[in-house]
């Protein structure tokens, strides 16, 4: 096959590296894990992306989750345009932010009160501060492979982009910050119990991706989330579900709706902004009343509750509230994963597996689904890189890292899935021949 021209992306990447570290504004975009030149995109519509050279791709990232209704959905675009005509930012309260908060509360009852932010990182950072203020304790428990934004105290054996470079921590984080963070293995029930036995009186909060997505998609094993809930309740610690990625992406009530496990606090992002910068943190009323101006925990943001971002989020959430939305999205994603596994087996590749929850998925060059970070890192990364480029050449844009989950939209029915399947069949054959 003739490879598409990427001359414009190459030129833009060379230009970008002169003024932007690594030529990108988020590390995983640099293609360092898979090699090659990152694509610079110019347009998105429905399930497709177009790069600066005019090449079209089936998008399996969906802006890392937010584009759940498809790119540039007319109802979302219309809401943004109307909001923008009224002004881009006021630095003051608006009706829209109240409506968004009420919508979230009605669909996630655990979030009795909440505060809007401009990003998921802001949301997790603030939730941890509130948990510490509420409990009067300092230590935070997190899990290896889970990523909660670039918060100093949480960049300890972090997941996501840092894993891509094989670097378990970040420079610039003082040891004193890291000392207050206890890092456990994801899905290690005995480890959780032992940690609480040793440190329970000092633990302010446990923060967890209830379905991990930043070390690729990893489900919680039976009993893991239940153990977190029980141990936090017993010790008086705050259980924080980081649903920045999974909130309104895996189901109508996130992971807490799928599992029936209620956290004390929740952080949200991505889908609730509909593609615009928006996040939120919230939880039980007695905890959230610690936040200024009601309480002593300070948190603020000039662009928090930005009217344009709120309009995009509300429009998106109204669409995902439609009957059968998540049933349809779940089926689309399951069909896609089953097709990939079938194509791998047809090519004679046994060292491949795939999983999905709602509109979120993971592909792994390993025989079985991972349960821990060690399982993920043991998969064949070189094989993934070859598969990534083979798919890219055939018009499918995968996450440029073996350690990232993928996302589909409600617009991926029909032709996009057919294109993805055909590309996979040819790509598996190619990498096997290699």
Q: Which residues are known catalytic residues?
A: 147, 242, 270
Q: Provide the 8-state DSSP code for 86.
A: T
Map tokens 């097709």 to a residue.
Answer: 339
CA dihedral (294, 113, 91, 134) positive or negative: positive
Q: Distance of alpha carbon 127 from its chain centroid, rounded?
A: 17
Contact 159, 214 (CB under 8 A): yes
Q: What is the dihedral of CA 117, 119, 125, 128, to 10 degrees?
A: 70
CA–CA distance, 232 with 227 (Å, rounded to integer):
8
Residue 123 · residue 150 · CB < 8 Å: no
For the chain, how many residues are written?
434
User: How far, in Å, CA of 107 to CA of 419, rounded?
Assistant: 35
Dihedral (Cα; 381, 387, 388, 394), 10-degree rounding:
180
Asked if 248 and 278 count as a contact pair (C-beta separation under 8 A), the reply is: no
Q: How far apart are CA 404 and CA 215, in angstroms?
A: 6
CB contact at 8 A, 216 and 362: yes
């Amino acid at each position: 096959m003739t490879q598409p021209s990427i001359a414009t992306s190459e030129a833009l990447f060379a230009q970008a590296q002169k003024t932007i570290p690594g030529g990108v504004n988020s590390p995983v975009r640099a293609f360092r894990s898979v090699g090659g030149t990152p694509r610079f995109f110019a347009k998105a519509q429905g399930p497709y992306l177009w790069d600066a050279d005019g090449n079209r791709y089936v998008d399996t990232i969906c802006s890392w989750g937010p584009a759940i209704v498809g790119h540039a959905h007319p109802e979302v675009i219309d809401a943004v345009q109307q909001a923008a005509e009224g002004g881009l930012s006021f630095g003051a309260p608006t009706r829209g932010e109240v409506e968004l908060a009420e919508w979230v509360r009605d669909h996630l009852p655990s979030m009795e009160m909440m505060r809007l932010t401009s990003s998921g990182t802001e949301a997790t950072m603030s939730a941890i501060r509130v948990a510490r203020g509420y409990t009067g304790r300092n230590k935070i428990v997190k899990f290896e492979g889970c990523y909660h934004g670039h918060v100093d105290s949480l960049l300890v054996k972090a997941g996501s982009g840092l894993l891509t470079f094989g670097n378990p921590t970040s420079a610039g984080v003082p040891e004193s910050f890291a000392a207050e963070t206890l890092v456990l293995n994801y899905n290690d029930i005995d480890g959780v119990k032992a940690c609480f036995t040793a440190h329970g009186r000092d633990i302010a909060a446990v923060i967890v991706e209830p379905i991990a997505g930043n070390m690729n998609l990893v489900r919680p094993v039976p009993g893991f989330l239940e153990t977190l809930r029980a141990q936090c309740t017993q010790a008086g610690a705050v259980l924080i579900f980081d649903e920045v990625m999974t909130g309104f992406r895996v189901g109508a009530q996130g992971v807490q709706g799928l599992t029936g496990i209620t956290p004390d606090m929740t952080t949200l992002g991505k889908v609730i902004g509909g593609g615009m910068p928006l996040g939120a943190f919230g939880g039980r009323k007695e905890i959230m009343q610690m936040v200024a101006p009601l309480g002593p925990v300070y948190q603020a943001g000039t662009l928090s509750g930005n009217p344009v971002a709120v309009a995009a989020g509300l429009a998106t959430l109204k669409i995902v509230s439609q009957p059968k939305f998540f049933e349809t999205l779940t089926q689309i994603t399951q069909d896609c994963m089953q097709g990939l596994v079938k194509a791998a087996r047809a090519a004679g590749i046994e060292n491949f597996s795939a999983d999905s929850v709602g509109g979120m998925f993971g592909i792994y060059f390993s025989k079985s689904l991972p349960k821990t970070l060690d399982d993920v890192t043991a998969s064949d990364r070189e094989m993934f890189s070859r598969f990534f480029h083979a798919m890219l050449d055939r018009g499918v844009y995968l996450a440029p890292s073996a350690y990232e989950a993928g996302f589909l939209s409600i617009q991926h029915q029909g032709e996009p899935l057919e294109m993805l399947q055909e590309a996979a069949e040819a790509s598996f054959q190619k990498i096997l021949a290699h």
